[in-house]
Amino acid sequence: MKKTYYILIVFLLLQLQLKAQDSFEFVVLPDTQTYIEEFPDVYMKQMEWIAGQENRFSFVLHVGDITQNNSENEWTIARKGFSLLDGKIPYNLALGNHDMGSGPGKFADTRNTEFANTFFPINEYIKNSNSIATFPKNTIDNSCAEYDLAGEKWLVFSLEFGPRNKTIAWADSIISQHPNHKIILNTHAYLFFDNTLLDGNDWALPQNYGVGKLTGDDAVNDGGQLWKKFVKKHHNAIMVFTGHITGSGVGQLVSQGDHGNSVYQMLANYQKNVKGVEKGDSGYLRIIKVDKTESTISVKTYSPSLDTFRTEPEHEFEFTKVKF
């Protein structure tokens, strides 16, 4: 009897272990700009909570607008928070329009990312982000990280605000070298709050900023263009994460790529002036769980500072019948 009981326990433990191996979790940090500007304690609680979950999360994505004014003081705070993750949990940064520019209040008037690259030196960033490539060379402006998760290889692209044509070409070249890797795209401006791609007459298009005035290889791409030129072409594209847009600050879209694959695209932004968090001191972040056994991608929204989950359908939801 004891032997049977022991065998049953071992079997159950093995089943749980196999189940864990077929799933993984990661964090998506929506725009932290107003936290860092006005409520740095809220931002630090986010980072402290994440750092305390090092055995749980595989990586962290920041969708951009890390800072509000691209200032030395704000980048100092940003770096202090991410330093808590160094050597514990890899993190990947997508630079937003507030993370570039010629000075405070001049958001993306030019593609100046000097502070981002000063506070996150390329060699340290590569080590802490699992990056296998960055673009332009010796900058963190765009990066591609590689992860081995749930028995498969994944590429995570973190692309600049308004990815340029040459940036898309760079990302395409990496995917061509890794045709069997699953792909996650992390970029700042991609979806609108009406659950459609950011394009057309939507406000806050990359083309409406100074960086959007260039042409040729330096021409920027909005969400619609990024989908057509990049995401939909790749059979192995799985997920897209983005921020930037206020209003409700949330959105989701499932689209079919050229190869019949479903791509799960999500907008999350909980900064100041977003509906429901008008003061901007909530500190909500997203917890994403990928479960290959259940064929699901589940999303939860949690605030470490409030110790509260948002459970409304637009903040807590699940995609089912996902083909990985």
pLDDT (tens place) for every residue of the chain, 324 residues total: 555 444 434 333 334 444 458 999 999 999 999 999 999 999 999 999 999 999 999 999 999 999 999 999 999 999 999 999 999 999 999 999 999 999 999 999 999 999 999 999 999 999 999 999 999 999 999 999 999 999 999 999 999 999 999 999 999 999 999 999 999 999 999 999 999 999 999 999 999 999 999 999 999 999 999 999 999 999 999 999 999 999 999 999 999 999 999 999 999 999 999 999 999 999 999 999 999 999 999 999 999 999 999 999 999 999 999 999
Radius of gyration of the chain (CA): 19
Question: Has residue 266 been placed in a domain?
Answer: yes
Which residue segment(s) compose the domain that 198 sits in?
26-312
Question: Has residue 259 been placed in a domain?
Answer: yes
Q: What is the phi/psi pair of residue 133, to 5°? A: -160, 145
Question: Has residue 274 been placed in a domain?
Answer: yes
| Number of domains making up the chain | 1
Question: Has residue 241 been placed in a domain?
Answer: yes
CB 22 within 8 A of CB 293: yes
Question: Has residue 17 been placed in a domain?
Answer: no
Spatial separation of the C-alpha atoms in residues 80 and 32, rounded to whole Å: 13
Question: Has residue 5 been placed in a domain?
Answer: no
SS3 for the chain is CHHHHHHHHHHHHHHHHHHHHCEEEEEEECCCHHHHHHCHHHHHHHHHHHHCCCCCEEEEEECCCCCCCCCHHHHHHHHHHHHCCCCCCCEEECCCHHHCCCECCECCCCCCCHHHHHHCCHHHHHHHHCEEEEECCCCCCEEEEEEEECCEEEEEEEECCCCCHHHHHHHHHHHHHCCCCEEEEEECCCECCCCCECCCCCCCCHHHCHHHHCCHHHCCCCHHHHHHHCHHHCCCEEEEEECCCCCCCEEEEEEECCCCCEEEEEEECCCCCCCCCCCCCCCCEEEEEEECCCCEEEEEEEECCCCEEECCCCCCEEECCCCC
Question: Has residue 211 been placed in a domain?
Answer: yes
CB 223 within 8 A of CB 194: no
Question: Has residue 6 been placed in a domain?
Answer: no
Residue 84 belongs to domain with CATH number: 3.60.21.10
Looking from the CA of 240 toward its CB, the CA atoms found within 13 Å total 34
pTM of the complete model beyond 0.85: yes
